Amino acid sequence: MIVNAARRLNRAAGMIAGSVLIDSAMEHHRGYFHNKLMWTPIATSSLSIAASFHGHTDRRHGAHRVRDVIYALAGVTGIVGTAFHLYNVTKKVGGWSWQNLFYSAPIGAPAAMSLCGLMGFLAERVRDNEPGSKPTIAGVNAGRVVAALTGASLLGTTAEAGLLHFRGAFHNPAMALPVTMPPIAAGLLAVAAVGRARVPRPASRKWLAATAAMGVAGVAFHAYGVSRGMGGWRNWRQNAFAGPPLPAPPAFTGLALAGLAALALLAAYPDE
């Protein structure tokens, strides 16, 4: 069970890494890799996908050193990337303004890389527990730690979707879903993180599953958005880049999967 929970977290990290890889590849291609450092997320997210796949196939106990290094790299890349994107915003004419927040390098995007690293880190920490023991992270019940951090991560990703969907004036009612469903999921995870462990929480599980499905449906919604651009998909070289980002929504799926793993851990290893 410990290894299975860790593998679920590996898959969550891999899901987010896939989203980051395609998103950063498209957006940085759009920016012509003007700064050579723009290749960094391509490299770290590719490595994270490989590490996550490796973790998914690995059924042994114990943290894996190379996976740990890769996930740490992803976490650092996300933080450095956020700093770079902040700098990009401030050096634009007008500095800190809504205009530049909307149209400069997206501040929240590199953070997804860090979330991938965080989920991977949690995966390795869960896996590092002795077989048959009650898994802990830094002495705290692992399920509670994963639930709390995943909930906080969902709020961060919601902020990014909220900023960009606000830019899009929520012109399609479905655009309200990623700013309403994930915060509720985050709330449910927060309740689980501090609440009683032994309860099954079927409603929370269903809600997280729905949030995961929303991340997948988001790709379809964004594809529809691209088709609505002038020239539609035939004009994909403009619309896929200037329109809604196709690979962004599955970040929610990755986090929701991690939340489900947290609930499973809490149910299997109650600390009461």
Partner 1 sequence: MSDRSRYPGYDVLAKRETPSWDEPTRRAIDKRLHVSTAARFLTAAEWAGADALCRRILPQDEEGETVPLAALLDAKLFADHGDGFREADMPYMREAWRAGLAALEAEAKARYDGHSFAAISIDDQDSLIAMMQKGLLSAAHWPGLDAQRFFERRVLVDVPALYYGHPKAWSEIGFGGPASPRGYVRLEGDRRDPWEAAEAVSGQEEAARRLNQHVV
Query: Rule CB under 8 A: which of 72-131 touch partner 1?
Result: none
Query: Tokens at residue 103, please?
Result: 């149209």
Q: Give whichever of 53 and 236 is closer to partner 1, judged by the CB atom.
A: 236
Q: Which is nearer to partner 1, 24 or 77 (CB)?
A: 24
Q: For the CA atoms of the chain, what is the radius of gyration? A: 19
Q: Which stretch binds partner 1 (CB under 8 A): 45-53, 170-178, 237-245, 249-257?
A: 237-245
The residues, any chain, with a CB within 8 Å of residue 135's CB and separated by 6 or more, are: 2, 5, 126, 129, 141, 142, 143, 265, 269
Among 34, 59, 60, 65, binds partner 1 (CB under 8 A): 34
Site mask for partner 1 (CB under 8 A), range 187-226, x = bound:
----------------------------------------
Binds partner 1 (CB under 8 A): choice among 132, 173, 237, 272: 237
Q: Give the span between the Cα atoms of 135 and 148, in whole angstroms.
A: 15
Q: Measured between alpha carbons, how far is residue 29 from residues 33, 47, 97 in Å?
A: 6, 19, 25
Residue 36 engages partner 1 in binding (rule: CB under 8 A): no
The span of 29-37, 43-51, 170-178, 191-199 binding partner 1 (CB under 8 A) equals 29-37
Query: Looking at the chain, how many residues does it have?
Result: 272
- In angstroms, the CA 13 to CA 123 distance is 8
> 243 near 222, Cβ under 8 Å?
yes
How many chain residues bind partner 1 (CB under 8 A)?
12
User: Contact residues for partner 1 (CB under 8 A)?
Assistant: 30-32, 34, 230-231, 234-235, 237-238, 241-242
